Amino acid sequence: MSKVLIIGGGAAGMMAGVFAARNHHEVHILEKNEKLGKKVFITGKGRCNVANACDTEELFLAVMSNPKFLYSGFYSFGPQDVMNFFEEAGVPLKVERGNRVFPQSDHSSDIIRALERELKKAGAKIHLHTAVKEIVKESAADSETENKSESNSGNNSTDVATAKLKNKAEKADGKEKEKITGVILEDGTFMEGDAVIVATGGFSYQSTGSTGDGYRFAKELGLKVTDISPSLVPLKTKEDYIPKLQGLSLKNTGLTIKNGKKVLYEDFGEMMFTHFGVTGPMILSASAHIGAKLAKAPNGEMSAYLDLKPALTKEQLDARILREFEAGQNKQFKNVIGVLFPSSLTPVMLELGGIPADKKIHDISREERQHFIDLIKAFPFTITGMGEFKEAIITKGGVSVKEINPGTMESKKISGLYFAGEVLDLDAVTGGYNLQIAWSTAYLAAQAIQ
């Protein structure tokens, strides 16, 4: 039995805690917030898209960074395992459009409560208001020094910590693997442990507690951390007609993003206009694909187009419009096209359509009609920027997966040091995949601890 210290009581920390405790380890979850799972609570707009009920093979296509690293994780604890886990823990689930899995209750709190119940049932100890300041390791040289210092100092736990810290730099012969000995809490207390799982999350929505501490711990321990950037973010746009559409949500829309003349990304789904640009599931996923390419694009801009009627070809759309026109030959253009769009979109379509709003239908030329159809099939806007960390669903980058054993989540350099969840250089598009990464990596870490 090992003493396992888990830093962070978010998605990964709670799941790791359940499995480590079920394996009869002494588990301590150290969470700096006043409660567990603050970020999980806001997932899926409070409904928690807990997984994606796709085939395990398909999961890899949704992962943006280092999908191959997740092979063991996804095959050891995949979507079906996650669903079984929560159903067995008393949370009935449902599958919605795009295989998105939610609790039937539509309450993320049910997911958190189930994890808390399982943690308590398995005997894990939960320490709230407990922030970890530092992770302590010792090398072979330290253990010799430690023996001396412990016998000299009367075994005071803080003195031991100081001794260990002091000796951190003294490596044995450079070949011996260093070992974790515990953590130092914010108040200076040293907490001894045989294994430490870092599940501190990323750097986005910092009010939920994910303030990037795990990156600092990793760097201090000599591990490589890749550059981080916000991902799954809203996009900023240039045109002044976009803010006029603020609040308008479109369910079935096509999206094409071009970098110069090259089509960079195409998708279909749900989006929303805001006072500064566009957001919604389809846009967030697009942001993960655009990523750093936007800054390098000509003028730092990309052109984008919405297909407002993706179910119709241009010919079918023309036939549809002609039917409306025939029924209202003597009406003004503005009074006929309203049936085609949500009311807030109509004024903008009139503004961009090139046909005077009061023009009589029978006076509209074929060219004018074709131009209007082109607008419906390719409603244009310019992407000028990405959202910031405070509004990012996920952090791209993190502890380099090259540092980590993909079958155990243990550091290759330091034994007893494990990482799970968003702190790692792993991220996926929306749809329940990011929580799947947290569950799978947490499971592997918990199962690997001897």
Ligand X SMILES: Cc1cc2nc3c(=O)[nH]c(=O)nc-3n(C[C@H](O)[C@H](O)[C@H](O)COP(=O)(O)OP(=O)(O)OC[C@H]3O[C@@H](n4cnc5c(N)ncnc54)[C@H](O)[C@@H]3O)c2cc1C
Task: Among 86, 432, 446, 449, indicate the residue that binds ligand X (CB under 6 A).
Answer: 432
d(CA 77, CA 252): 33
d(CA 409, CA 420): 7
Task: Among 18, 20, 40, 191, indicate the residue that binds ligand X (CB under 6 A).
Answer: 40
d(CA 69, CA 405): 9
Q: Is 110 in the site for ligand X (CB under 6 A)?
A: no
Task: Among 83, 95, 122, 131, indicate the residue that binds ligand X (CB under 6 A).
Answer: 131
Q: Which residue is nearest to ligand X (CB)?
A: 10
Q: Is 199 in the site for ligand X (CB under 6 A)?
A: yes
Task: Among 66, 181, 210, 303, indicate the residue that binds ligand X (CB under 6 A).
Answer: 210
- Minimum distance from CB of 199 to ligand X (Å)? 5
d(CA 252, CA 361): 28
Using CB under 6 A, which of the segments 24-32, 78-86, 293-301, 322-330 binds ligand X?
24-32
- Minimum distance from CB of 46 to ligand X (Å)? 9
Q: Is 205 in the site for ligand X (CB under 6 A)?
A: yes
Residues whose CB falls within 8 Å of the CB of residue 386, separated by 6 or more in sequence, listed in order: 230, 233, 235, 236, 287, 290, 294
Q: Is 83 in the site for ligand X (CB under 6 A)?
A: no
d(CA 140, CA 137): 10
Number of helices (H) and strands (E), helices first, in the chain? 16, 22
Write each residue from 147 to 186 as x if it is in contact with ligand X (CB under 6 A), else as -, in one continuous string. Answer: ----------------------------------------
d(CA 393, CA 391): 7
Which lies closer to ligand X via its Cβ, residue 189 or residue 332?
189
d(CA 141, CA 146): 9
Task: Among 19, 27, 28, 33, indicate the residue that binds ligand X (CB under 6 A).
Answer: 33
d(CA 395, CA 371): 41
Question: Dmax over Cα atoms in the chain, in whole Å?
Answer: 101
Which lies closer to ligand X via its Cβ, residue 281 or residue 353?
281
Q: Is 438 in the site for ligand X (CB under 6 A)?
A: yes
Residues whose CB falls within 8 Å of the CB of residue 26, separated by 6 or more in sequence, listed in order: 1, 2, 3, 4, 125
Q: Is 12 in the site for ligand X (CB under 6 A)?
A: yes
Q: Is 8 in the site for ligand X (CB under 6 A)?
A: yes
Structural tokens at position 234: 């809203």
Q: Is 218 in the site for ligand X (CB under 6 A)?
A: no
Q: Is 308 in the site for ligand X (CB under 6 A)?
A: no
- Per CB under 6 A, contacts with ligand X among 47-66 are 48-49
d(CA 331, CA 42): 49
Using CB under 6 A, which of the segments 40-48, 159-167, 173-181, 348-356 binds ligand X?
40-48
Which lies closer to ligand X via its Cβ, residue 209 or residue 416?
209
- Minimum distance from CB of 441 to ligand X (Å)? 8
Which lies closer to ligand X via its Cβ, residue 302 or residue 438?
438
d(CA 166, CA 182): 15
d(CA 223, CA 150): 28
d(CA 162, CA 149): 10
Contact 293, 251 (CB under 8 A): no
Residue entry with tokens 């694009």:
297
Helix (H, G, I), strand (E, B) or coil at 360: strand
- Minimum distance from CB of 354 to ligand X (Å)? 40
Which lies closer to ligand X via its Cβ, residue 135 or residue 264?
135
d(CA 444, CA 19): 9
Task: Among 6, 19, 28, 38, indicate the residue that binds ligand X (CB under 6 A).
Answer: 38
- Per CB under 6 A, contacts with ligand X among 323-382 are none
Contact 179, 415 (CB under 8 A): yes
Task: Among 25, 28, 39, 164, indicate the residue that binds ligand X (CB under 6 A).
Answer: 39
Count residues near ligand X (CB under 6 A): 40
Residues forming the site for ligand X (CB under 6 A): 7-13, 30-33, 38-40, 42-44, 48-49, 131-132, 199-201, 204-205, 208-210, 213, 393-394, 421-423, 432-435, 438
